[in-house]
């Protein structure tokens, strides 16, 4: 069986708690000889700052580059609020994303039938929802030059950020979206503001050209503001949405709220494939370090576990095991097992570790069937 190597960076707050459950799942899969995964663990964020004086060390980045993928918990917390900006926990996360050149951020928004009441939209609008947002992560207005706050001769101050994209930046994230759509419903919606922004016009032109290489995938163009409205009006029209860094930031948060719970949302950030087929990748739950519930056994570990399922699918090429974890998650939710964040009347409330244990029991119960 192929050996895989994963770097785990648990981070701060509830990060270590939810990653403990991920490690339990990995250990179960290894014991059952379904995987052969070795793990290296390193601190990141505030945890790394407290030990090393930096939120991520060069050694950790080096291990991340060589690993099949990185699984991250979450970073941050009020105890590091006074730390200089470049050494804050969040700076560690930004550095690892930048150093690994993780340009494509994947955020699925899936509504589990058992949690349909958690959505703020009517059940008939969101039932069966399964959208994948691909956000460009390393370019655009968050990184473009010039930027800064400048003093003007007339005594005013001026804040500047620059939206800038090159054809290669657009095409590489576009490719990720088209490839993913091929494995899904075969539909890409590309969002920009080509009506008022030159970078949006270029984005639209490059996506149109790229689609010629993917004749089996349908391409729609949509202005980003219309996409924000359509996500609320008729979200099931979407399969894969691809968009830039700024619009992706907003649209992926909006789409995730259609599902109702932060504790259920996984994400992946992918880099380019090198000539040996190696692709840098980092998987993490969408939620933060939740200092308000840290250390109390209340955190929902499913977002971190579903992020690991994405790693099995995209980095370890083990889609059947990813399917098995996702199906088992559905089953335990259907059976009324809930952490506090998704609790509903008539359900049974469990702790972080009980949620992990229940999932493993379900994986065991259905394992034979899944492997067949």
- Segment near ligand NAD (CB under 6 A); pick from 108-116, 146-154, 205-213, 299-307: 299-307
Q: Rule CB under 6 A: is residue 199 a binding residue for ligand NAD? A: no
Q: Rule CB under 6 A: is residue 93 a binding residue for ligand NAD? A: yes
Give helix then strand counts, H and E, for the chain: 12, 14
Which DSSP string do the residues of 25-44 spell out, in sequence order?
HHHHHHHTTS--EEEEE---
- Segment near ligand NAD (CB under 6 A); pick from 135-143, 175-183, 207-215, 297-305: 297-305
Residue placing its CB nearer to ligand NAD in the complex, 96 or 222: 96
CB of 206 to ligand NAD, least distance (A): 29
Gap between the Cα atoms of 145 and 164, Å rounded? 8
Q: Rule CB under 6 A: is residue 102 a binding residue for ligand NAD? A: no
Q: Rule CB under 6 A: is residue 266 a binding residue for ligand NAD? A: no
Instruction: Say which residues have a Cβ less than 8 Å from residue 17's Cβ, sequence separation at least 6.
Output: 294, 295, 297, 299, 301, 352
Pick from 290, 310, 316, 350 the residue near ligand NAD by CB under 6 A. Answer: 290
Instruction: Say which residues have a Cβ less than 8 Å from residue 302's Cβ, sequence separation at least 6.
Output: 263, 264, 329, 339, 355, 359
Could you say which DSSP state residue 3 is in?
Answer: -
H or E segment to which residue 57 belongs = none
Positive or negative torsion for Cα 234, 239, 242, 245: positive
Q: Rule CB under 6 A: is residue 77 a binding residue for ligand NAD? A: yes
Gap between the Cα atoms of 307 and 351, Å rounded? 19
Strands 279-285 and 157-162: unpaired
What b/e sequence results for 132-144 when a residue is b if at least 16 CB atoms lie within 10 Å of its CB, and e otherwise? bbbbbbbbbbbeb
CB of 95 to ligand NAD, least distance (A): 13
Q: Which phi and psi (to 5°) does residue 159 adopt?
A: -100, 130
Q: Rule CB under 6 A: is residue 323 a binding residue for ligand NAD? A: no
Q: Rule CB under 6 A: is residue 101 a binding residue for ligand NAD? A: no
Q: Rule CB under 6 A: is residue 252 a binding residue for ligand NAD? A: no
Catalytically active residues, by annotation? 142, 193, 225, 249, 253
Q: Rule CB under 6 A: is residue 287 a binding residue for ligand NAD? A: yes
Q: Pick out residues in 327-346 that bind ligand NAD (CB under 6 A).
A: 339, 341
Residue placing its CB nearer to ligand NAD in the complex, 72 or 210: 72
The answer to whether 195 and 225 are in contact (CB under 8 A) is: no
Report which of 351, 299, 355 is spatially closest to residue 13, judged by C-alpha positions: 299
- Segment near ligand NAD (CB under 6 A); pick from 75-83, 117-125, 241-249, 272-280: 75-83
Cβ burial of 201 (10 Å; 0-12, 13-18, 19+) is middle
Q: Rule CB under 6 A: is residue 55 a binding residue for ligand NAD? A: no
Report which of 18, 30, 32 is spatially closest to residue 366, judged by C-alpha positions: 32
Residue placing its CB nearer to ligand NAD in the complex, 97 or 324: 97
Q: Could you tell me how many residues of this chain bind ligand NAD (CB under 6 A)?
A: 22
Pick from 58, 59, 113, 292 the residue near ligand NAD by CB under 6 A. Answer: 292
CB of 10 to ligand NAD, least distance (A): 11
Residue placing its CB nearer to ligand NAD in the complex, 92 or 174: 92
CB of 70 to ligand NAD, least distance (A): 12
Q: Rule CB under 6 A: is residue 76 a binding residue for ligand NAD? A: yes
The answer to whether 203 and 233 are in contact (CB under 8 A) is: no
Gap between the Cα atoms of 85 and 187, Å rounded? 41
Pick from 39, 262, 327, 347 the residue near ligand NAD by CB under 6 A. Answer: 262
Gap between the Cα atoms of 110 and 214, Å rounded? 25
Q: Rule CB under 6 A: is residue 140 a binding residue for ligand NAD? A: no
CB of 76 to ligand NAD, least distance (A): 2
Give residue 335's Cα distance to chain centre.
26
Tokens of 368: 């034979």
Q: Rule CB under 6 A: is residue 118 a binding residue for ligand NAD? A: no
- Segment near ligand NAD (CB under 6 A); pick from 26-34, 143-151, 209-217, 293-301: 293-301
Chain positions contacting ligand NAD, by CB under 6 A: 14, 74-77, 90, 93, 262-263, 284, 287-293, 299-300, 303, 339, 341
């Amino acid at each position: 069986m192929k050996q895989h190597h994963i770097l785990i960076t648990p981070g701060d707050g509830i990060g270590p708690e939810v990653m403990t459950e991920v490690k339990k799942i990995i250990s179960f899969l290894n014991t059952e000889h379904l995987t052969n995964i070795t793990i290296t663990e390193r601190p990141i964020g505030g945890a790394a700052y407290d030990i090393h004086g930096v939120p991520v060390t060069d050694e950790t980045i080096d291990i991340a580059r060589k690993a099949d993928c990185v699984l991250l918990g979450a970073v941050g917390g009020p105890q590091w609020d006074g730390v200089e900006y470049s050494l804050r926990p969040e700076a560690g996360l930004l550095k690892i994303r930048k150093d690994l050149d993780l340009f494509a951020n994947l955020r699925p928004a899936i509504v589990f039938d058992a949690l349909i009441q958690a959505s703020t939209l009517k059940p008939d609008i969101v039932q069966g929802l399964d959208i994948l947002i691909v956000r460009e992560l390393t370019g655009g207005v968050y990184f473009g030059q010039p930027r800064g706050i400048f003093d003007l001769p007339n005594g005013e101050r001026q804040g500047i950020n620059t939206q800038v994209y090159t054809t290669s930046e657009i095409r590489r994230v576009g490719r990720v979206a088209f490839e993913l759509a091929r494995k899904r419903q075969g539909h890409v919606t590309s969002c920009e503001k080509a009506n008022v922004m030159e970078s949006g016009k270029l984005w639209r032109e490059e996506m149109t050209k790229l689609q010629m290489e993917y004749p089996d995938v349908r391409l729609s163009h949509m202005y980003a503001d219309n996409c924000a409205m359509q996500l609320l009006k008729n979200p099931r029209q979407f399969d894969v949405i691809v968009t830039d860094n700024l619009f992706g930031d907003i649209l992926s948060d909006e789409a995730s709220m259609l599902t109702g719970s932060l504790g259920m949302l996984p994400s992946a950030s992918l880099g380019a494939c090198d000539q040996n087929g190696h692709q840098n990748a980092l998987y993490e739950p969408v939620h933060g370090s939740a200092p308000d519930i840290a250390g109390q056994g209340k955190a929902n570990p499913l977002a971190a576990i579903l992020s690991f399922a994405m790693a099995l699918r995209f980095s370890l090429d083990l889609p059947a095991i990813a399917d098995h974890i996702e199906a088992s998650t559905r089953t335990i939710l259907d059976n009324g097992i809930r952490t506090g964040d998704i609790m509903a009347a008539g359900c049974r409330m469990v702790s972080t570790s009980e949620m992990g244990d229940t999932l493993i029991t379900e994986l065991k119960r259905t394992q034979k069937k899944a492997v067949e």
